[in-house]
Amino acid sequence: MSYIVELLKYILLGVIQGITEIFPVSSSGHLVLFSTLLMNGQDIESELKLLLMITNMGSFIALFIFYFKDIKDLIIDSFDFIFKKEKRVNSVKKENFFYALKLCIAVIPIGITGLIANKYLTPNLLFTGISLIVTSILLFTVFMLRNKQFINDITWKNATVIGLFQALAPLPGLSRSGITIVGGLSQKVELKKVLRFSFLAYILVSVPVSLLGLYEAIKNPGVIDIPGFVLAFIFSFLFSLLTVRVMNKYVQVKNLIWFSIYAFIVGTLSITLYLFI
């Protein structure tokens, strides 16, 4: 019976990851917080980084499925533009090729900071809480600026700025989607265009992260609860797929205030737990 309870904990962590990876409230921050609450008294530090990578892989696959047509078009059109001279006059293929290049530019900073954070940063409740409150303040700021005129396309400058904002995302508790939304809206890019760019960039950067997670799981099989991690992965995938549909259909800039309030409450809770447990 006690092991069933443990498996239910992993399921809950997968659900939390799936929802909070898509919504701008920090999946890593929630996993740090809820891992501490659900597994209090256990040595979770050795598991937590691997759990983050495995559940992120579930979110990555869900987003890959959701954006499969976009990814396919970007790959095919980029290939045609590079290797078939006669296709270079096609404006759609040219646009998709440059869009793919902008994605590559945007993921370079987070690739560098992600490697540094993975090696040197150990998530804790205090750092997570502070980062969640920072996320809350940033979301509130873009909410207050919500009546700006938005531009139609993501420029090279927009991609660079979004990439620089994303470089902060590996900090535990700082929402990657949230910080990308802030970066995009600060450049007057329309929300749904920011979300598409953000999630496609996430897919691109998640490929090496997912491979690293698989490598670590194979390398250290004794450190993890394999059935638990499998369940966390499955539920992360399912709830990411559900949440990204909701996010794209219903979320508007005016709704960011609710995410801001939520992130502030969870950040405050995280700091309080750090001080008193």
pLDDT of the residue at 141: 87
- Judged against a pLDDT cut of 70, whether residue 152 lies above it is answered with no
pLDDT in tens, 59-92: 999 999 999 999 999 999 999 999 888 888 888 8
Q: Name the helix (H) or strand (E) containing 227.
A: helix 226-250
Determine contact, residues 251/191, Cβ cutoff 8 Å.
Answer: yes
Q: Where does the pLDDT of residue 1 fall: very low under 50, low under 70, confident under 90, or very high at 90 and above?
A: low
DSSP state string for 180-194: HHHHHHHTTB-HHHH
- CA dihedral angle for residue 18, residue 195, residue 191, residue 90, rounded to 10 degrees: -160
- Interatomic CA distance for residues 65 and 169, integer angstroms: 23
- Supply the pTM of this predicted model: 0.89
In the three-class reduction of DSSP (H, G, I as helix; E, B as strand; rest coil), residue 151 is classed as strand
In the three-class reduction of DSSP (H, G, I as helix; E, B as strand; rest coil), residue 189 is classed as strand
Q: Where does the pLDDT of residue 140 fall: very low under 50, low under 70, confident under 90, or very high at 90 and above?
A: very high
Half-sphere exposure of 262 (CA within 13 A, CB side): 14
- Interatomic CA distance for residues 55 and 213, integer angstroms: 9
In the three-class reduction of DSSP (H, G, I as helix; E, B as strand; rest coil), residue 266 is classed as helix
Indicate the average pLDDT of the chain: 86
What would the two tokens of residue 115 be? 């490697």
Please state at what angle helix 125-144 crosses helix 256-276, rounded to 10 degrees.
Answer: 160
Q: Which residues pair with 169 in a beta bridge?
A: none
